[in-house]
Amino acid sequence: MSMTPIYGVPDAEEAIATLHRAPEIGIDLIDTSDAYGSNGSNEELVGRALKGRREKYVVATKFGNIRLPDGRPGAKGNPEYVKEACDKSLRRLGTDHIDLYFIHRVDETVPIEDTVGAMVLLKEQGKIRHLGISEAGAPTIRRAHKVHRMAALQTEYSLWTRDIEEEILPLCDELGIGFLAYAPLGRGFLTGTVAIGDALPQNDRRRDMPRFQGTNAQQNLKLVTALKQLSSRESCSPAQLAIAWLLSRRPPVMPLVGTSKRKWLEENAQAVELTPSQATLGALDETFRPGITQGDRYPAAMMARLGL
């Protein structure tokens, strides 16, 4: 997502070089969406990187996360749209199949069975290989999984976003659904290197996110200070420790660590080699206990689209 403008304007050529570097160090999953960038521009960028290298990657993309005519966030999951969205994504990505196709946001006006049924048809046609769902509530996940196995659930999860631990993670374990944790570094906040409030660039989406603003941000910075101290104890960066914490969770989760630069890709990848002490893991659990983070993770209108 960060490879097209959302947190400022990235360098497209460096982004492509980062995607090319990934499989060389053992990272083969690319996760995108038709909602990232404008008019599918993120998928187009990924398509450029895939050209002549498709076999090196597992490609995931998503559909259904839209903006309504009045600018409010919405969702679209009717069967006709599912087919249309998939065909457009295939063209932008320059591939004949999508390895993992996600319902990006649940359309509460369409039975989830109808949305998943349309995805099943795409699978039968060879256009997609596995089905997934994102930011859905437990009842919807169960209903979707009953129609066809959901290979993966993608929902935000990190040290500062732990609300899925009580119900959603155990449900994924029960049903055998893989869990992909997006924003595992708190949209960069947990690295300790990201500005807050008015110091963020004008075109940075985080200016609209409550956790990056005012007293919320000031309180959350205290958590990052503790993370820096613990990472120093483990001789690693705060980002590496945040990723290692996720990798230590049970049931297992896969962190979807987004970056548009090779240097951060390589640093983040080294987290798989870390084995933090039980004392450090315990201190992280206590410092970042559920509910301690100040502020919602999205603006109110977007929060209303989660967990449906």
142 by DSSP, 3-state: which? helix
Assess contact for 65 and 105: CB atoms under 8 A: yes
The answer to whether 245 touches 159, Cβ cutoff 8 Å, is yes
The answer to whether residues 60 and 153 touch, using CB atoms and an 8 Å cutoff, is no
Half-sphere exposure for 211 (CA within 13 Å, toward CB): 23
The strand pair at 128-134 and 152-156 is best described as parallel
Q: How far apart are the first and last CA of the chain?
A: 23
Neighbours of 222 (CB within 10 A): 12
Q: Side chain identity at 182, as an amino acid letter?
A: Y
**How many C-beta neighbours within 10 Å does residue 194 have?**
19
Closest CA to 192 of 156, 162, 226, 215: 226
* Catalytically annotated residues: 36
Using the CB atoms, write b or e for 230-255: b if 16+ within 10 Å.
bbeebebbbbbbbbbbbbbbeeebbb
Query: Which residues, including other chains, have CB under 8 Å from residue 85's CB and lie 6 or more apart?
Result: 34, 63, 64, 76
